[in-house]
Amino acid sequence: MELFTKTLFLCLALALTNGAPAHHDAAVDDASLPDRCDGLGFDAITPDEQGTTFFFRGSHLWEGFHGPAQLSNESFQELNDIHNIGHVDAAFRMHNIEHDHDHIYFFLDDKVFSYYDHNLEEGYPKEIQQDFPGVPSHLDAAVECPKGECMVDSVLFFKGQDVHVYDIVTKRVKTKTWSHLPVCTSALRWLEHYYCFHGNNFTKFHPVSGEVSGVYPKDARSYFMKCPNFGHGGDYKVLKCSDVKIDAITTDDAGKSYFFAGPIYMRLDTRRDGLHAFPITRSWTEVTNGVDAVFSYADKIYLIKDDQVYIYKAAAHYTLIEGYPKTLKEELGIEGHVDAAFVCPDDHTVHIIIGGTIRAVDLSATPRVVIQERPLPFSGIDAALCSAEGINVFKGATYYHYESPMTLAMSRIAPEPLNVTRAMMGCEE
C-alpha cells in the first residue's frame, strides 16, 4: 500500500493537457504572504526525495501544488541561517548513484547546499566549484537529466541563454547556447518532461537539443496551480476518505502503477516522483468513456470497458494492437460486466471478478478459456491489485487484504474491511 502516496485524490479530479502537471488549489488566505498566483514566477523549483515539489521565491516557498507560502528556512533551516542571502538561485534533486538515495542541491550566489531528508549534509555549504567544477556561480536554474533522457546522467545548469551540461560521473561540462529558449528563472523535470519557467509562463523543451515542440509559452497558473480565472480547477475540493472510489488499478512490468477513476488516471513511476494525473484519452485515445477493469501482462496493458477489451503495447507511447478492441468472449472467453481484474507478478493467469464470482483465465493458452470459477464472499468490487505483498480488493472507501489468489478464491467469509486512509490516498479523514 506504500505506492498510494499522499497526492492521489488531490489530483484525481483534475485533468491535464499537453503533458503538464495537474493544477491544484493555491489560494493564499494571509495577505501578508506572497501569492503564487500574482504572476511573478519562481526563483527555483525542485522535488524532494518523496516526490513533493517545492516552489521557491525570495525568502518563501510553497510545498506542493496547493497551500499557502511559508518561509524557506522552516523546511530548510540553514538556507538563511548560514548564508543569509534570502533567496535560492537554482535547485534540483539528484540521485546518489553510489549510496542509493537522493540529495536536493540548492545554489545561492557562489555556494551550494546539499540536503538529504531535509537535513543539511556535513561539510555544506561549499563553493559551487568544489562540487561542480566548471559550473558558474549566480545561476538562473538547474535540473537533473538521467541517462536515457540525456546521453549520460547529467545536470543542466542555466545561466542566461547558456546551458552548462554537467556529466555527473566524469564531472566534465559542455556548454550550449539555446538562444531560442527563454531565459529560465527555474526549471523542472516532471515525468520525463522538461519545463523552463520564465515569469508566470513555462516552456516545455527537449533536454538534449533544447527543441520546443508545440505552442509555447503557456501560463503556469493554468497548469501548476489553481488560480482565479485560470485553468480548469473549478470548485474542486479534496475528497473525504469515506468518499474514495477507484474504478481500476494495475502495475505494469516496469513497475509503474496506474489508478483509474472516471475519465482520469493517475500514474506513479516511483514514490520519489509522486503521482500524476492525466485524462485516460491522453495515453489510450480509443478509450473514451472510462474503464471497468485494467490488468497488465507480458509488456501489454489490457483495458476493459463494457464488453470490449483494448490491448496496448506498453512502450513509451501506448499503441493499440491491430485488430482491437475485441469482445470479452473473443479475447478472454467470458461474458458479463467485469468489476475488477488482476494478474500477480510472474504469473500467467488473470483473475476476473464479475459480480460475486472470481474466474481464472490462462493467458498463455490459445484460445483463452476459464479454467476455474469460484464464488466470493461479497460482491460490488471496484478494483483489485496483486503484488508481492498479496492482493488488495477495493470496495468504495474500504479494501480487503488477502495473502494470495488461492486464499481469495477459497474464502467463504470476508475479512475485516480496512479503511482507506489519508496516508494511502491523500484524502481528508
Question: Could you read off the pLDDT of 186-241 as tens digits, one per residue?
Answer: 999 987 789 999 988 999 999 999 999 888 999 988 888 777 776 543 333 456 77
Which pLDDT value is given to residue 424?
60
Which pLDDT value is given to residue 5?
35
Under 8 Å between Cβ of 426 and 243: no
Cα–Cα distances in angstroms (integers) from residue 195 to residues 43, 185, 220, in the given order: 14, 11, 10
For the stretch 260-296, pLDDT in tens is 988 888 777 655 555 566 789 888 999 999 999 999 9
Residue in 25, 11, 9, 16 with CA at minimum distance from that of residue 228? 25
Task: List b or e across 312-349, with b for residues whose CB sees 16 or more CB atoms inside 10 angstroms.
Answer: bebeeebebeeebbeebeebbbbeeebbbbbbbeeeeb
Which pLDDT value is given to residue 223?
82
Place of cell 476476473: 352
Which residues does the chain have with pLDDT short of 70? Answer: 1-31, 80-86, 96-101, 230-239, 269-277, 315-316, 422-429
CB-CB neighbours of 283 under 10 Å: 16
Domains and CATH numbers, the chain: 24-222 (2.110.10.10), 241-425 (2.110.10.10)
Distance CA(312)–CA(127), nearest Å, equals 50
State the cell numbers at 417: 474491511
Q: Model's pTM, two decimal places?
A: 0.63
Place of cell 527563454: 182
